[in-house]
Amino acid sequence: MDPISDDDLMRLYGEGDAEAFDALFDRHYLGAFNFVYAMLAEAGEAEDVLQETFLAVSQAAKTYCPQGMFRAWLMRIVRNRCLNRLQARRAREALVRAAGWEATEPPTGDPPPPQQASAREQSDIVRSAVAALAERQREAIAMYAFQQMRYEEIAKVMDVPINTVKTLIHRARGELAQKLGPLLRGD
């Protein structure tokens, strides 16, 4: 027996079945969180985006039009909310610069050599490398890696041709391989 589809869960939730929403949430939360965290690099902000997103999903349940593309629809909501946050962040930073205020970051030391780094430190190194990618590359690779989305789904979410998605992922992989090569080789 096949598991119930996302579209059917949305229909059931729209008809009043709260457990259907819980199932959708459980099914998509972790992947969506990983995507948002890769985009925004702040766990608290990622949680906020996901609360807003799943609230929007809940509110849209009665009018949701099933097309077999729930995950792409959900990720488009998530992506748009991330882009809005990034745009607001850039506007705040521009305001700080224009006002002549110095924005200071807490001091960070260089991570220890990869052989000595804990799994957490290695994860931080990888997340930093992903965060340093160009925005569209980061979006594409995060959907591909964290959501295991197909190129077609990513293209629909980003509203670009499939070949653009392939190019973005290829370039992101190349940059990550270059940045993370020593970590991957154990140098």
- Domain region containing 32: 1-104
Same-domain check for residues 45 and 128: no
Give how far Cα 148 sits from Cα of 34, 55, 130, 151, 177, Å. Answer: 11, 23, 16, 9, 19
Q: What is the model's pLDDT at position 98?
A: 66
Same-domain check for residues 65 and 110: no
Same-domain check for residues 58 and 146: no
Q: What is the model's pLDDT at position 92?
A: 73
Give how far Cα 171 sits from Cα of 106, 122, 137, 164, 176, Å. Answer: 31, 22, 7, 11, 9
DSSP string, 134-182: -HHHHHHHHHHHHS---HHHHHHHHTS-HHHHHHHHHHHHHHHHHHHHH
Question: Domain boundary residue among 71, 104, 137?
Answer: 104
Confidence (pTM): 0.64
CATH code where residue 153 lies:
1.10.10.10
CATH code where residue 78 lies:
1.10.1740.10
Residues in the chain with pLDDT values less than 70: 1-2, 95-120, 122, 182-187
Contacts for 181 with CB less than 8 Å, ≥ 6 apart: 187
Q: What is the model's pLDDT at position 20?
A: 94
Same-domain check for residues 87 and 9: yes
Tokens 């997103």 sit on residue: 53
Q: What is the model's pLDDT at position 101?
A: 59
